[in-house]
């Protein structure tokens, strides 16, 4: 019995089968993520550790190698790719598909906490599920208003605290990459003449700064049913804290010099403020962004794996409008979106729909 005769003799079964196929197709269509290109790479976790002023060989020896030793036994790891470059070490973990990614992130963070012996100048490692190599779904620029004369390089904290944090909370956004921003730092500029006058050295000053800028646990005190944890908090947060650090307090035993006359009959008290200038400034910029010849800041958004770009971009537009009319406007800045991946996705969907109509019409005619 051929298929055509069977279909004619049992029309109800054929109609029911067609309706089931249409229903399953509609359900699948709702769950399939809409994006410009399918996910072809494995699930990855990217670990970045910044160490300003370090050479690639130092980054590899002091940071990357130690992290690899702890992470190589992680469950589900398929491949580890490491990169050591100036000022930064990057370790990329590639996992087998099908893993519980939230659990994998937790295990990775726990393994990373085991790594000890980082250089004192190195920052804490950061973990992300996307990197700058991922295709961005949106690009934005920030420029000043006409009456705003503040340098764009000083808006780094605003970009990280206000804008980056808000976009990262959007469901479907995997990461925010910033370009042209700058960070604040507490600078201690030592005067070599004053240092020589007080017969101090730079290593001595650095040693005192490190010793004072620390928090130490002092144990606990039990009082009846209560237990108090004692902690000495000595972190330096303001320029005045740094200026008041005591470098030397001694009685001068020498005579016949200006220095001995200065301290004779009492104790000489030398602080950081006596030998250095302490102020808050911005780090040296290694990159600058411009738009049409005007200083600017830029950032892009990358998607999470499997995210629906159309739904994600819908929420991104809402957040963009909220930021542009709120904190960004108050800061004297203008936010512009210069790239939107959904434009190409919508164009592709329209083309596919058009081809379906043409194909169906031709099939009916033939």
pLDDT band at residue 178 using 50, 70 and 90 as cut-offs: confident
Reduced to 3 states (helix: H, G, I; strand: E, B; else coil), residue 140 is strand
> What number is the average pLDDT over the span 282-307?
80
Q: What is the pLDDT of residue 260?
A: 47
Asked, for residue 235, whether it belongs to a domain, the answer is yes
Indicate if the pLDDT at residue 237 is higher than 50: yes
Is the same domain home to 302 and 361?
yes
Q: What is the pLDDT of residue 35?
A: 59
Is the same domain home to 159 and 297?
yes
Question: Can you give the C-alpha Rg of the chain in angstroms?
Answer: 31
Indicate if the pLDDT at residue 266 is higher than 50: no
Which of 313, 300, 345 minimizes the C-alpha distance to 38?
345
Asked, for residue 10, whether it belongs to a domain, the answer is no
Nearest 5°: phi and psi at 222?
A: -100, 125
With pLDDT > 70 as the criterion, what percentage of the chain qualifies?
88
Asked, for residue 70, whether it belongs to a domain, the answer is yes
> What number is the average pLDDT over the span 319-345?
88
Asked, for residue 39, whether it belongs to a domain, the answer is yes
Which of 178, 128, 172 minimizes the C-alpha distance to 158?
178
What is the domain-level CATH number for residue 366?
Answer: 3.30.70.1320
d(CA 114, CA 66): 10
**Structural domain range at position 345:** 136-183+283-366
The chain-wide mean pLDDT, for the chain, equals 81
Q: Which of 234, 255, 282 is the last residue of a domain?
A: 282
Indicate if the pLDDT at residue 261 is higher than 60: no
Asked, for residue 2, whether it belongs to a domain, the answer is no
Handedness of CA 29, 30, 32, 37 (dihedral sign): positive
Cβ-based neighbours of 342, under 8 Å, separated by 6 or more = 137, 309, 310, 313
With pLDDT > 90 as the criterion, what percentage of the chain qualifies?
6
d(CA 354, CA 239): 66
Asked, for residue 274, whether it belongs to a domain, the answer is yes
Q: What is the pLDDT of residue 255?
A: 43
What is the domain-level CATH number for residue 55?
Answer: 3.30.70.1430
Least confident of 97-106, 114-123, 195-204: 97-106
> What number is the average pLDDT over the span 72-93?
87
Asked, for residue 4, whether it belongs to a domain, the answer is no
Is the same domain home to 122 and 73?
yes
More confident residue, 1 or 184: 184
Cβ atoms of residues 335 and 139 within 8 Å: no
> What number is the average pLDDT over the span 307-319?
86
More confident residue, 79 or 235: 79
Asked, for residue 24, whether it belongs to a domain, the answer is no
Q: What is the pLDDT of residue 165?
A: 86
Q: What is the pLDDT of residue 195?
A: 87
Indicate if the pLDDT at residue 135 is higher than 70: yes
Q: What is the pLDDT of residue 291?
A: 82
> What number is the average pLDDT over the span 142-165?
86
pLDDT band at residue 140 using 50, 70 and 90 as cut-offs: very high
Is the same domain home to 293 and 179?
yes
Cβ atoms of residues 68 and 82 within 8 Å: yes
Q: What is the pLDDT of residue 254?
A: 45
Domain count, the chain: 3
Is the same domain home to 288 and 277?
no
Which of 164, 145, 144 minimizes the C-alpha distance to 156?
164
Indicate if the pLDDT at residue 205 is higher than 50: yes
């Amino acid at each position: 019995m051929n298929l055509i005769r069977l279909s004619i003799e049992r029309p109800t079964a054929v109609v029911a089968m067609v309706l089931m196929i249409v229903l399953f197709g509609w359900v699948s269509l709702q769950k399939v993520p809409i994006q410009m290109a399918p996910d072809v790479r494995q699930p990855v976790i990217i670990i970045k550790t910044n160490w300003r002023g370090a050479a690639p060989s130092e980054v590899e020896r002091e940071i990357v190698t130690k992290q690899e030793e702890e992470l190589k036994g992680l469950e589900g790891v398929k491949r580890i790719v490491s990169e050591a470059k100036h000022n930064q070490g990057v370790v990329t973990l590639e996992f087998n598909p099908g893993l519980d990614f939230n659990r994998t992130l937790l295990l990775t963070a726990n393994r990373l906490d085991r790594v000890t012996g980082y250089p004192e100048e190195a920052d804490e490692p950061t973990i992300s599920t996307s990197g700058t190599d991922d295709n961005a779904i949106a690009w934005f620029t920030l420029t000043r208003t006409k009456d705003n004369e503040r340098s764009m390089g000083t808006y780094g904290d605003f970009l990280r605290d206000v804008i980056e944090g808000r976009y990262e909370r959007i469901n479907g956004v995997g990461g925010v990459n910033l370009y042209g921003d700058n960070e604040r730092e507490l600078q201690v500029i030592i005067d070599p003449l004053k240092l020589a006058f007080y017969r101090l050295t730079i290593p001595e000053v650095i040693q005192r700064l490190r010793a004072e800028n620390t928090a130490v646990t002092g144990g606990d005190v039990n009082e009846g049913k209560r237990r108090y944890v004692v902690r000495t908090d000595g972190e330096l947060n303001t320029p005045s804290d740094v200026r008041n650090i005591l470098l030397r307090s001694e009685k001068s035993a020498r005579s016949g010099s200006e220095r001995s006359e200065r301290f004779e009959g009492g104790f000489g008290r030398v602080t950081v403020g006596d030998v250095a200038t302490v102020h808050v400034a911005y780090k040296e910029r290694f990159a600058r962004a411009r738009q049409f010849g005007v200083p600017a800041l830029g950032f892009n958004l990358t998607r999470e794996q499997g995210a629906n770009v159309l739904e994600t971009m819908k929420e991104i537009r809402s957040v963009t409008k909220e930021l542009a009319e709120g904190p960004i406007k108050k800061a004297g800045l203008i936010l512009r979106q210069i790239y939107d991946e959904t434009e190409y996705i919508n164009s592709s969907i329209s083309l596919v729909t058009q081809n379906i109509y043409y194909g169906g019409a031709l099939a009916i005619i033939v």
